[in-house]
Chains A and B, each alone.
Chain A
Amino acid sequence: MNDTKPLNILIVDDSATMRALLHRVIGLADLPIGRIYQAPNGLEALKILETCSVQAIFTDLNMPVMNGMELLREIAKRDSWKDLLRIIISTDGSKLRRDEARELNVDLYVEKPFRPEVVRDVLCQIASADAH
């Protein structure tokens, strides 16, 4: 795992508390993490993606300005972002929303509330897939 390239991560959530929580949980994972960027909505997230190298995005769905699904639709349009790992973290666990996410090539769907080890396991899956 030590020779794995550090992972740059983008956290998108309108709640500063949730962003802080995710930042803390990601930091606890025994993985080479590079930079952790944060955005309060989809539009700000797109600005970061335009200018920074990001390998994985954790996004909420219900957000003002641009919601998570709108963000994921924008990401799906761009060929240069096709390898970006997409993880939804949302209170909305409905089947319809999950189906919608699947159509947008979302890699993982995590429902809030989540236990910290769930996010750690998600990161381990990403790192493990990256190493192969």
Chain B
Amino acid sequence: MSSAKSPALTPTDLHDTLQAALIEVGENAYFVFVEACDAGAFATLAEQERDKAHGAVVTWLMASVRFSGAFSGSVEIVLPERLGRWLVSSLLGMTPDEELPEAQVFDGVGEFANMVCGAWLSRVGDQALFELKVPAVTRMAAEWNPVADGRGREEVMCRMVSLNDSPMRIRVRAQ
């Protein structure tokens, strides 16, 4: 992917545009405060999710959006299911006591990833056309640990952020 992308964009530009896309989506559509964090802060936030779960197993969702065009790859977002549920409730203006069906949580988290991917690609390649596939959202296995999850050979970049003090990781992978 790195050889196919616009030569005008440096790796720093790509990171900055991804961060800008996240902030735009998080703050404009979901009304959350998005703050960059490093691997250590991400691990701490992930650990704190256990406290927030009050002894229950912390489940994580992974939303992935594949894209093709001037270059191809995927944007992959990992977040605690609790945060995903909260994001969708916030988007729909629901009260905390309203129950969200699982399908709606998955659909809403997929839409979050779709918006981040689209907003990022619009910044990276305004002069290029991209096709985005329907987001795929999966619940990770109960023992899955986002901190121990390796980057994989095809990772192009990775950002870790805090959304209202909850962890989220975004990876861009080349295809």
Report A's interface with B, CB cutoff 8 A. 14-18, 20-21, 24, 62, 64, 90-97, 111-115
In the complex, besides A24-B92, A94-B121, A94-B127, 16 extra interface pairs with C-beta distance below 8 angstroms are: A15-B111, A16-B107, A17-B91, A17-B111, A18-B111, A90-B118, A91-B115, A92-B118, A92-B122, A94-B130, A95-B126, A95-B127, A113-B119, A114-B28, A114-B29, A115-B29
Chain B positions within 8 Å of A24 at CB level: 92-93
What separation, in Å, do the CA atoms of A31 and B122 have in the docked complex?
32
Do B28 and A91 have beta carbons less than 8 Å apart? no
What separation, in Å, do the CA atoms of A20 and B125 have in the docked complex?
30
Query: Which residue of B has the minimal Cβ distance to A91?
Result: B118
Do A64 and B129 have beta carbons less than 8 Å apart? no
Do A17 and B108 have beta carbons less than 8 Å apart? yes
Report B's interface with A, CB cutoff 8 A. 24-25, 28-30, 88, 91-93, 103-104, 107-108, 110-111, 114-115, 117-119, 121-122, 125-134
The tally of CB-CB contacts under 8 A between chains A and B is 79
Chain B positions within 8 Å of A62 at CB level: 114, 118, 131-134
Do A21 and B130 have beta carbons less than 8 Å apart? no
Chain A positions within 8 Å of B110 at CB level: 15
